[in-house]
């Protein structure tokens, strides 16, 4: 009975943490030069909404070239004048993996930062309201209450683990993109 429990645990772990990159994911990531923007999926399409509502999978090999390419293509997407934004999450381009890009208004030397498998370690009691929009939700803008400060942990493209406090608008961007990894949209607030 004990060996059956261990087997079930191993299978569940591989489903959650060890899923290999699918052919469709590879095709989507590899379907153009690194500087080619990707299609942003929208809530207005029922199939795309299902992707946006799905919880994202942990990336087990953050140093893999595939994730660097995905990051570069997501950067091309979020800086493209047609889809310009301050952050983007992998689910927004159809890939349910835990990877986000956040514009770092608090770090002038670094415009966007890639965060793999981000986690929230602490949120402040201090909160604030601000109007938010989303690349995946056309036209709608709503006021959302979020913490002023968050302490986060994430893996960089270099495979190293980082922890830091993020404040203000940068914290808001992080929290918005982090929500995407959990299938949550700002309109849920």
End-to-end CA distance of the chain: 44
- Look at residues 67, 69, 44 and name the one whose alpha carbon lies nearest to residue 56: 67
Q: Give which of 131, 58, 137 is closest to 90, Cα–Cα.
A: 58
Which residues does the annotation mark as catalytic?
A: 177
Complete DSSP assignment for 22-36: PHHHHHHHTSS-TTS
Residue pair 162/156 in contact by the 8 Å Cβ criterion:
yes
At 94, list the tokens: 């159809």
Q: 45 to each of 7, 56, 132, 146, how far by Cα in Å? A: 39, 19, 21, 28
Q: How many residues does the chain have?
A: 189
Distance CA 78, CA 101 (A): 9
Mode of pairing for the β-strands spanning 127-134 and 137-147: antiparallel
């Amino acid at each position: 009975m004990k060996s059956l429990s261990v087997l079930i645990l191993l299978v569940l772990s591989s489903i959650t943490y060890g899923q290999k990159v699918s052919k469709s994911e590879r095709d989507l990531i590899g379907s153009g030069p690194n500087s080619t923007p990707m299609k942003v999926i929208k809530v207005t399409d029922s199939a795309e909404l299902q992707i946006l509502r799905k919880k994202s999978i942990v990336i087990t090999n953050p140093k893999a070239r595939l994730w660097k390419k995905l990051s570069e293509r997501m950067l091309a997407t979020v800086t493209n004048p047609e889809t310009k934004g301050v952050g983007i999450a992998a689910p927004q381009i159809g890939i349910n993996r835990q990877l986000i890009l956040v514009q770092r208004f608090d770090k002038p030397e670094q415009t966007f930062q890639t965060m793999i498998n981000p986690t929230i370690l602490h949120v402040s009691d201090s909160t604030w309201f601000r109007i938010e929009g989303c690349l995946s939700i056309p036209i709608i803008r709503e006021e959302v209450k979020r913490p002023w400060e968050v302490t986060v942990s994430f893996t960089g493209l270099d495979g190293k683990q980082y922890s830091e406090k993020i404040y203000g608008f940068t914290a808001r961007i992080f929290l918005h993109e982090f929500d995407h990894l959990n299938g949550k949209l700002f309109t849920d607030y």
